[in-house]
Amino acid sequence: MSEAASTSAVEQGVNRFFGTFEQAQRAIAIENVYGQPIASGETVVVPIASVSQAFGMGGGIGSDGEAGTRDEGVGGGGGGLVRARPIAVAEIDADGVKVHAVVDENRALAVSLAFAAWAVFWTARTLIKIFKPAAN
């Protein structure tokens, strides 16, 4: 009997999940936070990224309610997220190290729009309270 056939569906699911988790761990290695240096003359540029990850897992076993017996219910679930985004570049030359931030224009725009919507909401709410005729 092969090893895969001797393991239960739950064990296979857990093994698959942890295999994926290990792959994600390798994906966020330091080499991916600090990219490969790029040399041009006497200047070296090193890209820098922010890398984060989150994982979750569920499980379960079913029972038919009779003492000492189990039905075939199992369960499962799992999910994960690995995210990397550029945040800066380090420029290294004879004068020293300069770090230049990478500005995410889409994020800045989204924050600006959210703030504008918040300001409009509170302004409109205040004006409605001020100018709303008193109920008789």
- Region for 63 from its dihedrals, namely left if φ exceeds 0, alpha if ψ lies in -120 to 50, beta otherwise: beta
**Unique residue bearing structure tokens 């994906």:** 27
Token pair, residue 62, equals 């079913």
Q: Check residue 72 and give its pLDDT.
A: 67
d(C-alpha 9, C-alpha 72), whole Å: 10
Instruction: Give the SS3 label for residue 28.
Output: coil
Q: What is the pLDDT of residue 96?
A: 92
d(CA 104, CA 113): 14
Structure-derived torsion over alpha carbons of residues 39, 48, 53, 22, reported in degrees to the nearest 10:
20
- pLDDT value at residue 1: 45
Residue 126: helix, strand or coil by DSSP?
A: helix
The pTM of the full predicted model, rounded to 2 decimals, is 0.47
User: pLDDT tens digit string along 38-86?
Assistant: 898 899 998 888 877 787 777 777 666 666 665 666 677 777 777 778 8
